[in-house]
A = this chain, B = another copy of it.
Amino acid sequence: MNHILPHKTVERLSHYRRCLSFLIEQERETVFSHELAAMLHYTPVQVRRDVMLIGHEGTLRHGYVVKDLHKQIIDIIESRDNVNIAIVGYGDLGRAIMHYIMGRNPSMHIAAAFDVNPNKIGKYHDGILCFHVDDIVETIKEYKIQIAVLTTPAQVAQKVADDLVAAGIKGLLNYTTKKIKLPEKIYLEEYDMITSLEKVAYFMKFAGK
């Protein structure tokens, strides 16, 4: 796999991987595209197209071999080396995200947390050591952290993001309410819960009409 896959394909691969892990637990050996499609509310055509795109082949009679397809997807979307992640802003949301990540993808390793609260700094929380945000550049380098999850207050989000970039991170997930600007070489995903809620509140007024 040397070409870059489309965003939506990577999203779907992540979902297929999860389904296939479930099927492995269930000791299923093969699965049809229409079964994967039904589990995820995609169309069978979509599933077959994605699987073809990653160069995997199934048989008409038995479908895909669960373990083979699982392994091939993992080879694509999981890094061979661990990905080191930092949680920046270690409040409710930061902790929730940390708990959420832990153990769900074995190649993702939460390496450090950052905050400004003196009660948190220098202590382990669920096995993760919390550092002061002022030490972010050296700590990110020392722990070889590639991805940061940003959950700081909006006012400091851009400043902290700039420090993270200076420290050499390669990808950032921004969960603050502030839209941030990064150099193009850093991969940025932003998600804003309040906007999502406002979308639900807006569209539900028209739903079913």
Chain A residues in the interface with B (C-beta under 8 A): 4-5, 7, 10-11, 14-15, 18, 39-41, 76-79, 83, 85, 91-93, 95-97, 99-101, 104-105, 107-108, 146-147, 149, 170-173, 177, 179, 181, 184-187, 189, 191-208
Assembly CA distance A137 to B78 (angstroms): 40
Cβ–Cβ contact B97 & A201, under 8 A? no
In the complex, what residues of B have CB within 8 A of residue A78's CB?
Answer: 198, 201
In the complex, what residues of B have CB within 8 A of residue A195's CB?
Answer: 11, 14-15
Within the complex, what minimum Cβ distance (angstroms) separates A111 from chain B? 14
Which residue of B has the minimal Cβ distance to A108? Answer: B197
Given known pairs A15-B179, A92-B99, A96-B96, the reply for A196 and B201 (CB within 8 Å) is: no
